[in-house]
Amino acid sequence: MASDRSIVEYFAEHERYRCGYCGNTDTNYSHGMWAHMLTVQDYQDLIDRGWRRSGKYCYKPSMPITCCPQYTIRCEALNFKLSTSQKKVIKRMNRYLIHGIKSGKTANDLEADESRDDKNQTTIPSEEKQQAGKQCSDAENNNQSEGTLEQTNDIDNIKAAENKIETVEGDVSSLSGKKKDEKKIKSVVGPDPTKPPCKKAKEMRLERRKQKLQQKVESVKDSGVDGNISSEQERPEPSADSKGQGHFMSVHQILQAESDKNKNKPKSLEDLLTEPERAGKCAHKLEIKLVRTHPASKELRYSYEESFEVYRKYQMIIHKEKSHECSKHSYGEFLLSSPLEPKYVEGGIPMGYGSFHQQFILDGKIICVGVIDILPYCVSSKYLYYDPDYDFLSLGTYSALREIAFVRELNKYAKDLKYYYMGFYIYTCPKMRYKGQYFPSFLMCPEVYSWHPVQDCNKILDQKKYSRFAEEGKEDENGKIDVNQVLIVHNGEAMPYEVYKAINPESSDEEEIKEYATFIGRPCAERMLLFRK
């Protein structure tokens, strides 16, 4: 069978099962299918209709009847705007990398870090996974503890320097002719008070520019020209308050205007993330390495044991799992196994499309791993795990910001790749609303599959937990299905359903085939191969 075709098995049953968000035992519903292989384009189209994968198992929540509706959410990475709290997370990381200074994080950071994985994002019925022969830990462990937001902050208490100052008693006038005792200052940390404060790089650049401009002014004066600069090439633009009066801005005014302009210009996401690289000598070195998981790359095999130990530690401490529950088998099925077939495009993104791990390596040691899929239009974040010893770095938020920056970098090679998918947004679960803080973000309408600003959707969800976001009258164009054109694979051969039905006249699965095709949409139904025995 050609590898450029997707092959799936569909499971029509969606029985009641436990919800990992509200805790009810039999109120969560979803449909599922086992993907033997998926092209990256087909999976892109599937997640744009509310599907999501866990290993090779793909599932779509039954939105109208499930207890906690799960809305697909994505962020426009190219237009992303940093919030104040997100800037603080980056600055906290930069302080640690550059100066080695640890600092605590807020309850909001802890909530975002703890929630940013599919252990909290998704619940999959174990009955369907058993039918598919799947033993991944994604949904089976959703009844585990959500973890605690009251984690201990790893904060170093920096002792204040003791200032020993010798005082002189008596009237100052009585000290005439005598040498005053010097004030002795012993400093443990901080700048040396006996030396002038260090200048910022921006101030030094402005001083150098001022010197150059001053030299030009002096050269004009030396040439016999009066105080005003008359050269058309060198004279500055007239100031706003002096236009029409024949006067021009002074050197000081020019520098002040440039300083004010730079001061008011906010730093970009990339500016903040790359500060340690520009700082020169740093206390710690952070490296981010991308390794392909399917097929397993040499880099993945080399780092497997170390990466697994971080996962095991994370599951046991954050999700309170027992040691035997964090097996290499479940780890492989959940976070290494993938149905996505790699795809490379000439002149496109260097690493190609498919499934990857993004490893965060601090001083040569893996401390965090982001599990992602790189698809034609987006980077889809699937899971995150990290060493809990480094939770003071807010790795959940920091890694998400890194992934957004990664999308922006990939967009330089592939102009259609411009979105960051964050999985599901569950309005009924307060811990999962943090995803709406990545601005601008949009939720998918569960009926028409159009995109709408999360702020507008929240107003609708205030009234009803399951809602349609699209305007009335709009229809799902890709939901109009001719069941006879749905592709089937039977006895190793691909054929339309009408041919399959002619070969198997006693088959009674037409309603199931139509339901499957409606859920995945017409383009996928006419490309993907549905396995039939």
Give the per-residue pLDDT at 127: 45
* Domain membership flag for residue 323: yes
Q: Which range among 7-21, 87-101, 188-202 has the greatest average pLDDT?
A: 87-101
Q: Is the dihedral of CA 105, 110, 99, 81 positive or negative?
A: negative
Give the per-residue pLDDT at 156: 35
pLDDT band at 46 (very low <50, low <70, confident <90, very high): very high
Residue 514's Cβ-count burial label (10 Å; 0-12, 13-18, 19+) is middle
* Domain membership flag for residue 304: yes
Can you tell me the mean pLDDT for 198-222? 73
pLDDT in tens, 235-280: 455 555 544 444 456 666 666 666 566 566 789 999 999 999 999 8
Give the per-residue pLDDT at 431: 81
Give the per-residue pLDDT at 259: 59
Tokens 């939105």: give the residue: 63
Per-residue CA distances from 379 to 37, 138, 355, 433 (Å): 19, 20, 10, 20
* Domain membership flag for residue 526: no
Extract the tokens encoding 490: 């039977």
* Domain membership flag for residue 2: no
Give the per-residue pLDDT at 175: 32
Residue numbers of the domain that contains 288: 7-147+282-475
pLDDT in tens, 83-106: 999 999 999 999 999 999 998 766
How many whole angstroms separate alpha carbon 531 and alpha carbon 533?
7
pLDDT in tens, 484-527: 999 999 999 999 999 999 999 988 899 999 999 999 999 999 99
Helices (H), 18-166: 40-47, 84-99, 107-115, 118-121, 126-132
Residue 177, sorted as left (phi over 0), alpha (psi -120 to 50) or beta, turns out to be left
pTM: 0.75
* Domain membership flag for residue 160: no
Give the per-residue pLDDT at 115: 58
pLDDT in tens, 342-395: 999 999 999 999 999 999 999 999 999 999 999 999 999 999 999 999 999 999
Q: Structural domain tally of the chain?
A: 1
Give the per-residue pLDDT at 159: 34
Strands in 259-391 per DSSP E: 286-292, 354-362, 365-374, 378-386
* Domain membership flag for residue 505: no
Distance of CA 39 to the CA centre of its chain: 23
Per-residue CA distances from 351 to 84, 148, 281, 303 (Å): 33, 37, 30, 18
* Domain membership flag for residue 436: yes
The yes-or-no verdict on residue 17 having pLDDT over 80 is: no
How many whole angstroms separate alpha carbon 15 and alpha carbon 129?
12
pLDDT in tens, 422-452: 999 999 888 888 899 999 999 999 999 999 9
How many whole angstroms separate alpha carbon 234 and alpha carbon 213?
9
Give the per-residue pLDDT at 196: 65
* Domain membership flag for residue 519: no
Give the per-residue pLDDT at 209: 79
Can you tell me the mean pLDDT for 163-178? 36
